[in-house]
Amino acid sequence: MDRLAGIALADWRAQAREFEFRGHQLRYWEAGQGEPLLLIHGFPSGSWDWHYLWQPLAERYRVIACDMLGFGFSAKPRGHAYSLLEQADIQQHLLQTLGEPHYHILAHDYGDSVAQELLARDLEGERRIGSLCFLNGGLFPETHRPVLLQKLLMSPIGFLIGRRFSRERLAANFGKVFGADTQPDEQELDAFWAMIETNNGPAVMHRLIGYMAERRVHRERWVGAMQRTSVPLRVIDGAADPISGAHMVARYRELIPQPDTMLLEGIGHYPQVEAPEQVLAGYLAFRDRLN
- Is residue 131 within 8 Å of 103, Cβ to Cβ? no
Calculate the alpha carbon distances from 174 to 44, 183, 268 in Å: 11, 8, 10
Fold of 9-289: Rossmann fold (3.40.50)
- Cα separation, 64 vs 104, in Å, equals 10
Confidence of residue 145 (pLDDT cuts 50, 70, 90): confident
- Cα separation, 229 vs 22, in Å, equals 31
The full set of domain ranges for the chain reads 9-289
- Cα separation, 256 vs 252, in Å, equals 6
Q: pLDDT at position 1, please?
A: 47
270: pLDDT strictly greater than 90: yes
Nearest of 38, 84, 27, 81 to residue 198 by alpha carbon? 27
2: pLDDT strictly greater than 60: no
Q: pLDDT at position 289, please?
A: 94
- Cα separation, 132 vs 167, in Å, equals 33
Q: pLDDT at position 290, please?
A: 92
List of residues 6+ apart from 157 with CB closer than 8 A: none
* Mean pLDDT computed over 191-213: 93
DSSP state of 26: E
